[in-house]
Structure 1
Amino acid sequence: MESTNILAISGSLRSGSFNTAAIEAIHQLSPSNIEINIYRELGNIPLFNPDIDAKTLPVINRLIAALRDADGLIIASPEYAHGISGVMKNALDWLVAGEEFVAMPIALINTSPRAIHALASLREILTTMSGVIVDEACLSLPLLGSGMSANDIVHEPTFAEPLQNSLFEFCSAIQASQPGKYSGQNH
């Protein structure tokens, strides 16, 4: 069976981030045929400046390469002042001009049920960039204030099972959108 390669990004730089914990938990819960690559350089990306050629920045080249290699993208991002985090928006701004997002399947994880503004904003930005939100794979987990780590989430069925179901739905949608890759027709 072909493996599915998924890039996962947390839009938070906070060490105790529930968004990062959710991303790390889904990584731990993924079966062997699903490779989850967690992008950990969000804080190293310089402020977006359209006068700078993105190809001259190694950190942007690594992000672009990770996206190019991915079959799908999972994003978990917090809400700040009714918007997505600045570091998440900044990374997306660097990617706007590229082809990597065109038809990219995307799943969103929301770790705060009250973060509806950021989630709506993120959906708008990603669809504007020609990404494809896979609604069946999007998930809201009430982690805010729980104090849970990735390991806690993995061992708590009320959180682990929805994450696994989300990942299954996401991979099913990815495979349905790329039948040649997953049916062995390209070998």
Structure 2
Amino acid sequence: MEKIKILALSGSLRKVSYNSAALAALQQMAPEHVEIVIGDIGNLPLFNPDRENESIPALEQLKSSLASASGLIIASPEYAHGISGPMKNALDWLVAGAEFPNKPIMLINTSPRASHALESLREILKTMCGLIIESACVTVPLLGSGLDQDGIVANWEISNALQTALNEFCQQISLQPRQ
């Protein structure tokens, strides 16, 4: 079976983040033929179109990781009914790049009551020509659970939901035409 490489981005910069923990748990549970690389958006400068032609190491790394990935997983919190500032900033940096259009995307929502940011994120990603794989998007009840990466892996209901979504995502990626 061909190896599938996926970039995963957390929209949270918190050290103890449910979104980051969900991605780390998914990385741990991924089948052998799936490599999940967790990217870093915390070192990106604030988006400024005047800087688009500059060499920015954090941006170059993000673009390189995205270009080499077959898909993108995003887990991002909701702040004041919107997507997190760091995630919006990262997407603003990626909007004009050739790495993003038609990239299959899986969304993870870690709070069932957080729907505004998720809908906003969907709109932004569609505007950027991302290919959201709706059948692979998943909401898991982590907010207030106290679960870390190991707790998520050990929780059958949550780990099963994440693995099922990842399996669907990988299946849909394998059906996409090679670019």
Range into which the TM-score falls when normalised by the shorter chain: over 0.9
Q: Which residue does 1:62 correspond to in 2?
A: 61
Equivalent pair of 1:83/1:117 in contact (CA under 8 Å): yes
- Distance in 1 between residues matched to 2:104 and 2:132, nearest whole Å: 6
- Distance in 1 between residues matched to 2:53 and 2:86, nearest whole Å: 16
* Structure 1 stretches lacking a partner, 5+ long: 182-187
Q: Which residue does 1:28 correspond to in 2?
A: 28
Trace 1:84-123 onto structure 2 (pairs within 5 A).
84-123=83-122
Moved over 3 A (4+): none
- Distance in 2 between residues matched to 1:141 and 1:54, nearest whole Å: 39
Q: How many residues align?
A: 179
Trace 1:138-177 onto structure 2 (pairs within 5 A).
138-177=137-176
Partner of 1:173: helix, strand, or coil? Answer: helix
**CA 1:12–1:65: 2 relative to 1, 3 Å:** same
Letter in 2 for 1:80: Y
Q: Which residue does 1:184 correspond to in 2?
A: none
- Distance in 1 between residues matched to 2:125 and 2:163, nearest whole Å: 23
- Distance in 1 between residues matched to 2:20 and 2:129, nearest whole Å: 25
* Structure 2 stretches lacking a partner, 5+ long: none
Q: 2:13 aligned with 1:2, yes or no?
A: no
Q: Which residue does 1:18 correspond to in 2?
A: 18
- Distance in 2 between residues matched to 1:75 and 1:53, nearest whole Å: 23
Q: Which residue does 2:130 correspond to in 1?
A: 131
- Distance in 1 between residues matched to 2:5 and 2:41, nearest whole Å: 19
Q: Deviations over 1:107-165 (max 9, x none)?
A: 00000011100000000001100000000100000100000001111011111111110
CA-CA distance at 1:17 after TM superposition? 0.7
CA-CA distance at 1:99 after TM superposition? 1.2
TM-score, length basis structure 2:
0.97
Mean CA deviation greater in 49-58 or 126-135: 49-58
Letter in 1 for 2:14: R
RMSD: 1.1
Percent of aligned pairs with the same amino acid: 56
